[in-house]
Amino acid sequence: MTETTDTMPGWLSDGELEAARGRMPILYINAVPVRVDESGTVTSVGLLLRVGPDGSISRALVAGRVLYHERVRDALLRHLEKDLGPVALPRIPASPQPFTVAEYFPTPGVTPFHDPRQHAVSLAYIVPVSGDCQPRQDALDLVWFTPEEAAGPDVQQEMTGGQGALLRQALAHVGRLE
């Protein structure tokens, strides 16, 4: 699961994190940023854009680790701020119940989700954002798609590690996978 580097001081050194990654599942969150209208209907979905060293384009959901002694909802808020900027005004869900749990395995094919670096178990949430999104790191942009575009083949083939499937699960959950 691609993600930006944690910029806040962590509780694990890089070496310790690497060691843990080969030994136990690592807890993550995934957030699907959406725009909604007055009635709550999802009108568009925000995907992060990344350009690889070879110029390849990939699109990704907001993702990141939950840190020691951090609540899941605080991890959601931190990663959304990190990726969408400080004035995105995300509406973190009132309930801790995720719409699904995505299990990224280092071995492909065990589940629809794959992360070659680790076994990551990710709690996935849909998060309406009402403010201005300003991706904060050079390599990233945020592009809004209609639900139809997001589920379509062009976007789906630009997503990796099973995040395309996770995005379609999110659209199904909000009744916009048609």
Binding residues for a second copy (CB under 8 A): 11-12, 16, 20, 22-27, 34, 36, 38-42, 65-74, 76-77, 91-101, 103, 105-107, 110-112, 119, 121, 123, 126, 128, 165, 168-169, 172-175, 177-178
User: Shortest gap between Cβ of 63 and a second copy (angstroms)?
Assistant: 16
Q: Which of 125, 170, 130, 171 is nearest to 148 (CA)?
A: 171
Complex with a second copy: residue 59 or 125, whichever CB lies closer: 125
Rounded-to-integer distance, Cα 135 and Cα 84, Å: 5
State the minimum distance, in angstroms, from the CB of residue 85 to a second copy. Answer: 15
Looking at the Cβ atoms of 60 and 104, the one nearer to a second copy is: 104
Shortest CB 44 distance to a second copy, Å:
12
Of 53 and 69, nearer to a second copy (C-beta) is 69
- Give least dist CB 126 to a second copy, A: 6
